[in-house]
Chains A and B, each alone.
Chain A
Amino acid sequence: MRALVFSRRPGQLAAAAVAGRIRPGAGAGVGPIGLRDVDPPEPPTDEWLPFRPRLAGICGSDLATIDGRSSRYFEPIVSFPFTPGHEVVGDLPDGTRAVLVPVLHCEVRGVDPVCPSCASGAIHHCERIAFGHLEPGLQSGFTRETGGGWSAGMVVHPAQVVPVPDDLSDEAAVMVEPTACAVHAAQVVLGGAARDGGPIAVIGAGTLGLLTLAALRHAERGGDTDRLILTTAKHPEQRRLAGELGATRVVAPDELARAVRGVTGSLVLASDDATAGAAAGQLTGGFPTVVDCVGSEESIAQALRVVAPGGDVVLVGMPGPTHVDLTPLWHRETSLRGCYAYRRADFDTAIEVVRDLDLGRLVSATYPLDRHRDAIAHAAAAGARGAVKVAFDLRGERP
């Protein structure tokens, strides 16, 4: 069986980090990932089932891993060698089409009694991700034993699958997992400082940005729909999609501060006239909630500049090691909040969102495993190349 395998090879990882910095996605060529012929993974217990991926998406966190940009934080919660791929739609042995809920929480790990977080249903907060009868791994696709989506076969725990309705195409179904993230993010956002209305800024119009936008609009559908949502988008296709998915106004990344200032009528704190005039300093006011779907140093700093005092900055994009001046956070009592994954129930909502908004169209290209370098390069430059989600098509793979 063929699988893309990511091994622990520090030399190659360092090379990938260098190459990835020069050109995103280049880590696939020089890094420790390669297409191998491997034995299908063994089910850890009798409960586990073999799962044949049909489509498996390439996520931003996968690209960070391939380009050696991942934080050392992940070291204790992944296990090598692993096959990436956690956005997966596939077939169970009984022919059921299902999407994977990749989080490896207590129930999946056979931990009993389950941890307090899992007991409350917050499986993404599971406190046993490195323990139990499985090797460490926060999700399928980051652990040795389960295999991952970028292969002809993996194993899943029955608690890890959600059946896909027949009217949903494979392309739509592969969007369910990332959409579930967005649904969760929307809940976080709408439960925070923006709960009583007020404008929201979404930084970034990649997959996560667009889906978060869609999930926010979906969560408030039927209600008071004139909430102002400002989105930043770099590329024309992103601008178009953001507009379609419900952004009130789409601006270029460097226009965000000015747009927020104009809407809120804020003043600007800056040490010189040019910075002040371009609204490049700290806004005195701002939006109650800023959702950062990029996770870079610049985007976080930008979010802190445009968020209102006492507001929320929600990090939906995975940040990594970052240098941020937290003085404004302290001074303005901003809360900086992470936002990771989902509960299982979010998948049901996600399926609705995907169906209602026809999010299958966001899958811009699919590649066979043989062309994994092209696929990764495409995904790494998705925005510039007019794409959103790039996925591996495994329907032609032999088991």
Chain B
Amino acid sequence: MPRPGLVLDVDRSTPPILFHHGESFRLEKLPPGRSRIVYPAEPLAPLKDVAGAIDDALDHPLDSDPLSARLFPGMKLVIAFDDVSLPLPKMRRPDIRQRVIEAVLDRAAAAGVDDVRIIAALALHRRMTEAELRHAVGDRVYDAFAPEGRLYNHDAEDPDDLAFLGTTPHGEEVEINKRAAESDLLVYVNINIVSMDGGHKSTATGLASYRSIRHHHNPATMEHSRSFMDRHSSELHHANWRMGEVIRKAGVQVFQIETTLNTDTFGDTGPLSVLQKREWEWTTRDRVTFMGMKAGLDRMSASARRRIFQGWEAPYGVTSVTAGAVEPVHERTLEHCFAQHLVPVEGQTDVLTMGLPYICPYNVHSIMNPILVMCLGLGYFFNLYRGKPLVREGGVLILSHPTPWEFHPVHHPSYIDFFEEVLADTTDPKVMADTYEERYANDEWYRHLYRTSYAYHGVHPFYMWYWGAHALRHLGSVIIVGGDVKAVRRLGFRPASTLQDALEMATDTVGPQPTVTHLHNPPIVMADVT
């Protein structure tokens, strides 16, 4: 029986605590008596028979006829799936998307469906490479569909492959992949690694164009998504749900298949298993492994470290597969997500600390640049709450990450310019949205790289910054421990060389003897703050 999450009060017997620090780690002492640590729950028991669960979901969907009954010869079938940003880290083969897609296709084959398109719903993310597509959908599906161009990446800038479906009552334009919009059935295969994913967001964002996405990926929406991990309090999700309604009214038939994974990120054997244990339970072997690993990593070049970590494949277990109509499916999925992630926490804190790992949704097989550090810390981790933020308004957020001034030139070309031009001028999301966003979004060069190379869309770095808009407004200051000083300053944050210095600096903002909470993440934990 996996143990639930835990809020530990730090006392003088508490051992130093593990902080992720990019492609390395730190062990830090937290001040006793006024600190607490939020630990994630242990991985939930996975489904024993995944194939059976998939069959069951497809044959007994929620609020829908069985999938087989919705397939008929001569129909146009589109299968869309979540892109390389999920799950993190990538999943050991076979990926759950492959297993679901094969089950869907097998039924389509039985029904005699010829016209099938399989589309990576990547919105404004970079295109997936062949290797990444093969990993997600498997070799059989890839070899069957990709050579004839029937398995491909969604292109949010292809004027010939977008369909305008209408406008929400709030004036938000809905424009999605034309092929998907005109299909007889759109099957969406998702992975809900966190509660933000899935639901109407899958189609309304994943298959949409810039024209459509800009209506909810903007500072005003993000500031009112509190948090965007809690869909019922998230303006981001409200907008997507309104758009989902427009899509439904336009007659697009969506068969949603959502899956959840447990948090078995680092495994219970192997070199990284120690990262999934609570520090006082580290055995001698764990400690030796950890010290050896850290010593080895510290002697490696940054690129070698990146290669090692980016090669890690997590042994996740599948905890649920649900299919049918979008809304009931998503409610069921959220229950599974929350069952794994939520840990009840009482009250807010003055100072919130987190160790940022080597990966975020936008640097798979890539470099975690400073903008992504901001997005992961102030966007994703800060928003891992339900109710109230873990840190009080005006409090301090302390992040630990090397924050190198380094960018992947193929994946993040517009990020480089954003960092050099926009952040040199302003860190205010509203100002940059008004002054710069349009030029970046419509830059012909970025568009070219997005469509033909493996680059994120020109506007994407802005979205990364907007992702942190709520935190930027909420926080008194942000300190990054162990980061590149110049890069940290460019982000508008304060650099510190040790956690002790950072805690000392935090007292400038929140006064002496502040309460400290550490979010022990990953594996993913979400605080249910009351």
Contacts and interface: CB of A to CB of B under 8 A. Distances in A.
Interface stretch (B146-154, B266-274, B410-418, B517-525): B410-418
Given A266-B445, A278-B413, A273 B420 contact: no
Given A273-B453, A277-B449, A278-B409, A258 B444 contact: no
Interface in B419-456: 420-421, 439, 443-445, 448-449, 453-455
B444 A267 contact: yes
Given A265-B444, A273-B410, A258 B416 contact: yes
Interface string B277-288: 000000000000
A275 interface: yes
A274 B417 contact: no
B443 A273 contact: no
Interface in A239-294: 249, 251-252, 255, 258-259, 261-262, 265-268, 273-280
Contacts of B455: 277
B453 A258 contact: no
Nearest to A279: B413
A258 B410 contact: no
Contacts of A255: 420
B445 A274 contact: no
Interface hub of A252, A274, A280 (most chain B Cβ within 10 A): A274
A266 B445 CA distance: 7
A279 B421 CA distance: 14
A255 B448 CA distance: 20
A277 B453 contact: yes
B421 A262 contact: yes
Contacts of B439: 262, 265
A83 to B, nearest CB: 43
Nearest to A278: B409
A277 B412 CA distance: 7
A199 to B, nearest CB: 14
A252 B417 CA distance: 12
B528 to A, nearest CB: 41
B443 A262 contact: yes
B410 A277 contact: yes
Nearest to B420: A255
B453 A278 contact: no
Contacts of B408: 277
Contacts of B448: 267
A249 B416 CA distance: 16
A279 B448 CA distance: 13
A258 B445 contact: no
Given A259-B421, A262-B421, A267-B444, A276 B449 contact: yes
Contacts of B443: 262, 265
A234 to B, nearest CB: 14
A95 to B, nearest CB: 50
A285 to B, nearest CB: 10
Nearest to B422: A262
A266 to B, nearest CB: 7
A259 B420 CA distance: 8
A276 to B, nearest CB: 7
B448 to A, nearest CB: 6
Given A265-B444, A267-B444, A258 B409 contact: no
A287 to B, nearest CB: 16
Contacts of B453: 273, 276-277
A276 B453 CA distance: 10
A241 to B, nearest CB: 17
Interface string B220-240: 000000000000000000000
B417 to A, nearest CB: 5
Nearest to B412: A277
B421 A274 contact: no
A262 B435 CA distance: 14
Contacts of A279: 413, 445
Contacts of B449: 273, 276-277
B409 A267 contact: no
| Most chain B C-beta atoms within 10 Å of own C-beta, residue among A252, A259, A267 | A267
Contacts of A266: 445
B409 A275 contact: yes
Contacts of B417: 258-259, 261-262
A251 B420 CA distance: 8
B369 to A, nearest CB: 12
Nearest to B413: A277
A277 B409 contact: yes
Contacts of A251: 420
Most chain A C-beta atoms within 10 Å of own C-beta, residue among B413, B416, B455: B413
Contacts of A267: 444-445, 448
A249 B444 CA distance: 22
Contacts of B411: 277
A267 B413 CA distance: 12
A302 to B, nearest CB: 16
Contacts of B412: 277
Nearest to A268: B445
Contacts of B445: 261, 265-268, 279
A276 B407 CA distance: 13
Contacts of A275: 409
B315 to A, nearest CB: 33
A273 B413 CA distance: 10
Contacts of B421: 249, 259, 262
Contacts of B413: 276-279
A265 B444 CA distance: 7
A120 to B, nearest CB: 44
A277 B417 CA distance: 10
Contacts of B407: 278
Interface in A195-223: none
A251 B453 CA distance: 27
B157 to A, nearest CB: 15
A261 B417 CA distance: 10
A38 to B, nearest CB: 49
B450 to A, nearest CB: 11
Contact of B410 (A252, A262, A268, A274): A274
A265 B449 CA distance: 13
Nearest to B449: A277
Nearest to B407: A278
Contacts of B416: 258, 277-278
A280 B413 CA distance: 11
Nearest to B408: A277
Contacts of A274: 409-410
Contacts of A277: 408-413, 416, 449, 453, 455
A321 B412 CA distance: 37
Interface string B342-360: 0000000000000000000
A262 B444 CA distance: 10
Most buried by A among B407, B408, B417, B439: B417
Contacts of A259: 417, 420-421
A273 B126 CA distance: 13
Contacts of A252: 420
A280 B454 CA distance: 17
B442 to A, nearest CB: 9
Interface in B255-269: none
A135 to B, nearest CB: 51
A273 B127 CA distance: 13
5 closest A-B pairs by beta carbon, nearest first, are A277-B409, A277-B413, A278-B409, A274-B409, A273-B410
16 contacts: A252-B420, A258-B417, A259-B421, A261-B445, A262-B417, A262-B421, A265-B444, A273-B410, A274-B409, A276-B409, A276-B413, A276-B449, A277-B449, A277-B455, A278-B407, A278-B413
Interface of B: 407-413, 416-417, 420-421, 439, 443-445, 448-449, 453-455
Given A258-B420, A259-B420, A277-B409, 5 more contacts: A252-B420, A258-B416, A268-B445, A273-B449, A279-B445
